[in-house]
Amino acid sequence: MDTVQLAGQTEAALEQWARERGASPGAARGLARALLAEFAQRSILQQPSAALVAEAKSAFASALPPADAIVDPDGTVRFAVRLLDGVVIETVAIHQPQSETRKSERWTICVSSQAGCARGCVFCETGRLGLVRNLSAAEIVSQYALAARHLGQRPRNVVFMGMGEPLDNLEEVLRAIEVLREPSGFAVPERRITVSTVGIVPRLDELYARTRAQVAVSLHAIEPRARLALLPVARKWPLEELRRAIARAPRTVLLQWTLIAGVNDSDDDADGLVQFAQGLDVRVNLIPLNPGPAADQRAPPLDRCRAFQKRLAGAGLRTLLRMPHGQGIGGACGQLAGARRTAMANRH
Ligand code: SF4
């Protein structure tokens, strides 16, 4: 029988487990909260019965997977996480220092939702691997837990922008969000969690309905042929269909645009994006490309990136130009390059 991982358990699930063993409602709730608090390395307000704790500890495994951490010069930490079956995935703790506009430093944990990915976006390291397997909710939450322990704090921001397309593993991603937001556990505010998708149109409505997490959609190009050349998924769900799905969102949607020199960084591209966004409740994240598998693709010079941003902002589009954090760490899903390819290749 597979061991049940504590990292994948919500308070309700733990409570039910205790109730099934005869605990009163109050004792069951106390146990669930104590287990979540201990796993999140928080103080336990009320000690549950020792016998119940002992039984829970033999039923739920709480060890985290081993991980190697590499610290980039700007403080960003990349973790190569080795899962129980030997699969290696990548997690990143992105560091944003204190600044004039930021009162205190900020950490964002970028988690993977799959090992590899089936979607094959051309600029993406993960896309080259193909799909190895989906991650369980416990494996997703464990990535956050080990980053939090490494940093000695519980970061309030989580992005599903690591390896994998989260909407291809939606149930486990939603379960992981439930666990991450548990008030007695990690207590990550749900609205500070961002799920980034390449645009799996039929699953967007379900995502909107089942979580208050922010949704980010990778757009990257408006012109159909240019978009298809970057994102094979565009063949299945053309832009108009994607636009209608974005228009149905109950909250602001982030549009991700990876800037690639000579591919999608012209004034015409910016104007196309402005036109696409008209009438939509959206913000734009511009991310200069990290070096990836396509050797001939690179980020535009900084002044071109700024000119692109200015053109969008001048047309009234809320736009942020996000500079990459750390060597090989990007802001769009699957752009976390670096150790991943080597690590994954090492499996074979
Ligand atoms: S960019 Fe995202 S969806 Fe596309 S191949 Fe990479 S991980 Fe998959």
Over 70: is that where the pLDDT of 348 sits?
Answer: no
Q: For ligand 1, say whether the CB of 216 is within 6 Å of any of its atoms.
A: no
* pLDDT band at 329; cut points 50, 70, 90: very low
Angle at Cα 342 formed by Cα 338 and Cα 346, nearest 5°? Answer: 155
Q: Assess whether the C-beta atom of 178 lies below 6 angstroms from ligand 1.
A: no
- CB of residue 336 inside a 6 A radius of ligand 1: no
pTM, rounded to two decimals: 0.92
To test ligand 1's pocket by mutation, which of 91, 125, 126 has the most ligand atoms within 8 angstroms of CB?
Answer: 126
CATH class, 67-345 region: alpha beta
* CA distances, 232 to each of 226, 228, 306, 319 (Å): 11, 5, 28, 26
Residue 291 CA, chain-centre distance (Å), reads 20
What residues does each domain of the chain span?
A: 4-61, 67-345
* Mean pLDDT over the full length of the chain: 91
- Asked whether residue 337 carries a pLDDT value surpassing 60, the answer given is no
Residue 57 has pLDDT above 90, yes or no: yes
pLDDT in tens, 180-199: 999 999 999 999 999 999 99
Ligand 1 centroid–CA 58 distance in Å is 38
Give me the pLDDT at residue 296, please. Answer: 83
Which position among 15, 90, 165, 178 bears the catalytic label? 90
Residue 80 has pLDDT above 60, yes or no: yes
Report whether pLDDT(320) > 90: yes
Summarised one tens digit per residue, pLDDT across range 36-52 is: 999 999 998 888 999 99
The residue whose C-alpha atom lies closest to atom 3 belonging to ligand 1 is 165
Asked about 90 being catalytic, the answer comes back as yes
What the block records as the tokens of 298 is: 């690179």
Residue 175 Cβ inside 6 Å of ligand 1? The answer reads no
Average confidence (pLDDT) over 50-68: 96
Query: Which percentage of the chain shows pLDDT scores above 70?
Result: 92
Buried b (16+ CB within 10 A) or exposed e, 319-333: bebeebbbebbbbbb
Closest by CA to 41, choosing from 165, 167, 149, is 149
Atom of ligand 1 nearest to the CA of 196: 2
Would you place residue 102 in the very low, low, confident or very high pLDDT band (cuts 50, 70, 90)? confident
Out of 112, 121, 228, give the residue to mutate to test ligand 1, the one with the largest number of ligand atoms within 8 Å of its CB. Answer: 121
